[in-house]
């Protein structure tokens, strides 16, 4: 693989640029497949967002919060021991979103959207959450900005993630367990949408991923673009060149679209998204939406979707609650179709092996979501070397989207590290039980 040209100017806006796609459509995907009752709110949000993007005061507010509240820029750390032991010597750089306040990339989006909510005069935000990361981030932003916050969470998840439920409540949020439908993340989104329809006058729906009806996909991406912009600058500074590849995990796809964005127009930088393969894509327990899904509409956008022959949504499965979603952001569907990004599944087992590998080689405890990106990166590095790439001249940036403190219980159960007789509750408030069942 040749060294990419780093002189490419990503600042220019030309018709071929993929960086400035604003929606509502991304190729055949995106749009607004949602009830008329919400259209006025979507229009208001769109207008507010478009105006804010061009308002120096808003831009300054976001920058200030990123720097002085979240702790940006996040580091770009070279993982030398991980590289030597697991990646055949290919140089691996970790974009350290795990070091942000609240422990993941999620904070970028919630701060931006909470600012928009205030600009619209809304006093209440609602959010959905699976594992609780977006819920915690939303509760954090609400506390910071003096907004009322209600978080919808599948009833089963509230039991598995008791610690995060407590975190949200400590931050002043109301957590509502969702007992309808399959009681999972998608039902939490359904219930949040029902709340929004009824309370849209004073409420902003703070969607946590780059999915949903327009303008959500482009807006959520906008607030995460800082990841890719920083990473591009940092890799040039540290190595003097662009990477050969950039990798990220994909659930709804917000961390991935954020880091990809910085490199979309660098044609020689390969982009990889790793989906949750669960027990394997040859089983019916996975969340590999792009790999095996079909185009459809869910939660406001047309995109790839895990659905049966009748168009009913299929429940997804992943050890990672953050990737356990049967849909995916529409811009990813588009980038998959045009071949700009390669999407591949990573199984629970591969992800957990990579989780442990990073812990042991770098002293960094990654989120299980991010561990999917690490596992895919190991596979990619080996493949590149097998194809003749010179390891020390090959660079991959991995978006380490979050830290794994929330996953300690799950991992301890997975690796059978729980002391006999230890009470579940002491270990967790996490997915331990789920991991033990496997």
Contact (CB, 8 A) for 211 and 329: yes
Greatest alpha-carbon span in the chain: 63
Choose the catalytic residue: 97, 128, 331, 369.
Answer: 128
**Which one from 106, 186, 302, 434 is the annotated catalytic residue?**
106
User: What DSSP string runs through 66-80?
Assistant: IIIII-PSPPEEE-H
Nearer to other proteins, 187 or 431 (CB): 187
Nearer to other proteins, 326 or 429 (CB): 326
Q: Which one of 155-163, 165-173, 179-187, 361-369 is the stretch in contact with other proteins (CB under 8 A)?
A: 179-187
Nearer to other proteins, 62 or 125 (CB): 125
CA distance 115 to 4: 38
Q: Indicate the SS3 state at residue 154.
A: strand
Q: How many CA atoms lie within 13 Å of 33's alpha carbon, on the beta-carbon side? A: 15
> Would you give the end-to-end CA distance of the chain in angstroms?
40
| Binding of residue 37 to other proteins (CB under 8 A) | yes
150 binds other proteins (CB under 8 A): no
Q: Which is nearer to other proteins, 36 or 387 (CB)?
A: 36
Q: Measured on CA atoms in the order 18, 23, 28, 30, is the torsion positive or negative?
A: positive
Are the C-beta atoms of 285 and 306 separated by less than 8 Å?
no
Of 6, 33, 156, 241, which one interacts with other proteins (CB under 8 A)?
Answer: 33
- Using CB under 8 A as the binding criterion, the count of chain residues that bind other proteins stands at 38
Q: Is residue 362 annotated as a catalytic residue, yes or no?
A: no
Q: Does 352 bind other proteins (CB under 8 A)?
A: no
Question: Does residue number 121 form part of the binding site for other proteins (CB under 8 A)?
Answer: no
Name which of 182 and 361 has its Cβ closer to other proteins: 182
Q: Report yes or no: 132 and 113 within 8 Å, Cβ to Cβ.
A: no
Of the candidates 28, 51, 170, 198, which one interacts with other proteins according to CB under 8 A?
198
Q: Which of 19, 23, 26, 34 forms a contact with other proteins (CB under 8 A)?
A: 34
Scanning 86-94, 168-176, 184-192, 423-431 for contacts with other proteins by CB under 8 A, the matching segment is: 184-192
144, 162, 176, 197: residue in contact with other proteins (rule CB under 8 A): 197
| Residue selected from 28, 35, 360, 422 as contacting other proteins according to rule CB under 8 A | 35
- Contact segment (CB under 8 A) with other proteins among 58-66, 69-77, 140-148, 185-193 equals 185-193
Peptide bond preceding 94 in cis form (omega within 30 of 0): no
For residue 432, what are its two tokens?
Answer: 């331990």
- 41 sits near other proteins (criterion: CB under 8 A): yes
124-129 and 395-400 strand pairing: unpaired
Cβ proximity of 428 and 411 under 8 Å: no
Q: Are 204 and 124 in contact (CB under 8 A)?
A: yes
Stretch that binds other proteins, among 39-47, 256-264, 383-391, 396-404 (CB under 8 A): 39-47
Site string for other proteins, 271-310 (x = CB under 8 A): -----------------------xxxxxx-----x-x-xx
Catalytic residue check, 401: yes
Site string for other proteins, 371-410 (x = CB under 8 A): ----------------------------------------
For the question of residue 191 being annotated catalytic, the response is no
> Is the preceding omega at residue 247 within 30 degrees of 0, hence cis?
no
User: Do the Cβ atoms of 415 and 352 come closer than 8 Å?
Assistant: yes
- Whether residue 364 contacts residue 95, with contact meaning beta carbons closer than 8 Å, is answered with no
Query: How long, in residues, is the chain?
Result: 438
Nearer to other proteins, 196 or 263 (CB): 196
State which residue, 145 or 197, has the beta carbon closest to other proteins. Answer: 197
- 307-336 binders of other proteins (CB under 8 A): 307, 309-313
Question: Quick one: 157 or 195, whose CB is closer to other proteins?
Answer: 195
Residue 193 or 352 with smaller CB distance to other proteins: 193
Describe the strand order of the beta sheet including 174-178 as a list of residue ranges.
174-178, 148-154, 124-129, 203-205
**Residue with the two structure tokens 């795990």:** 98
Instruction: Quote the least distance from Cβ 36 to other proteins, whole Å.
Output: 5
Residue span 204-243 as binding mask against other proteins, x where in contact by CB under 8 A, dash where not: ----------------------------------------
CA distance 260 to 251: 14
User: Residue 339: is it exposed, middle or buried by C-beta count within 10 angstroms (0-12/13-18/19+)?
Assistant: exposed
Query: Is residue 370 classed as helix, strand or coil in its secondary structure?
Result: helix
Torsion of CA 357, 360, 364, 366, to 10 degrees: 30
Q: What are phi and psi of 26, to 5 degrees?
A: -120, 95
Candidate segments 78-86, 181-189, 245-253, 260-268, binder of other proteins by CB under 8 A:
181-189
> What residue ranges bind other proteins (CB under 8 A)?
31-41, 43, 180-182, 186-187, 190, 193-194, 197-201, 294-299, 305, 307, 309-313
Enzyme catalytic residues: 106, 128, 401
């Amino acid at each position: 693989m040749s060294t990419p040209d780093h002189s490419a100017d990503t600042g220019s806006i030309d018709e071929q640029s993929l960086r400035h796609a604003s929606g509502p459509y991304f190729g055949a995907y995106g749009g607004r497949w949602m009830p008329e009752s919400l259209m006025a709110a979507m229009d208001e949000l769109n207008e507010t967002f478009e105006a804010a993007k061009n308002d120096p005061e808003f831009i300054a507010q976001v920058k200030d919060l990123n720097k002085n509240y979240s702790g940006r820029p996040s580091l770009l750390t070279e993982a030398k021991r991980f590289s030597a032991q697991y990646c055949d010597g290919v140089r691996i750089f970790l974009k350290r979103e795990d070091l942000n306040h609240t422990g993941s990339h999620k904070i970028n989006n919630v701060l931006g959207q909470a600012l928009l909510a205030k600009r619209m005069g809304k006093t209440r935000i609602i959010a959905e959450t699976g594992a609780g990361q977006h819920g915690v981030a939303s509760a954090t932003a609400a506390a910071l900005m003096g907004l009322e916050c209600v978080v919808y969470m599948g009833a089963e998840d509230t039991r598995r993630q008791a610690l995060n439920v407590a975190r949200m409540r400590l931050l002043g949020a109301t957590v509502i367990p969702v007992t309808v439908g399959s009681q999972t993340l998608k039902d939490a989104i359904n219930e949040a949408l029902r709340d929004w329809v009824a309370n849209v006058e004073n409420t902003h729906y703070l969607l946590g991923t780059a999915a949903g009806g327009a303008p959500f996909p482009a807006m959520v991406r906008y607030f995460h673009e800082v990841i890719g912009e920083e990473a591009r600058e940092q890799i040039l500074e540290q190595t003097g060149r662009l990477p050969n590849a950039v990798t990220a995990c994909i659930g709804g796809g917000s961390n991935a679209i954020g880091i990809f964005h910085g490199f979309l127009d660098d044609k020689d930088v390969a982009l990889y998204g790793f989906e949750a393969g669960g027990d394997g894509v040859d089983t019916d327990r996975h969340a590999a939406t792009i790999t095996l899904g079909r185009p459809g509409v869910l939660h406001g956008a047309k995109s790839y979707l895990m659905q049966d022959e009748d168009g009913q949504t299929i429940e997804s499965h992943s050890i990672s609650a953050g990737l356990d979603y049967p849909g995916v952001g529409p811009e990813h569907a588009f980038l998959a179709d045009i071949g700009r990004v390669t999407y591949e599944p990573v199984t629970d087992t591969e992800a957990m092996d990579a989780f442990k590998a990073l812990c042991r080689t770098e002293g960094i405890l990654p989120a299980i979501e991010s561990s999917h990106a690490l596992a895919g990166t190991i596979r990619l590095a080996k493949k590149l070397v097998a194809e003749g790439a010179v390891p020390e001249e090959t660079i991959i940036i991995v978006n380490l989207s979050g830290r794994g403190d929330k996953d300690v219980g799950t991992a301890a159960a997975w690796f059978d590290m729980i002391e006999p007789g230890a009470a579940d509750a002491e270990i967790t408030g996490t997915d331990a039980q789920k991991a033990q069942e496997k």
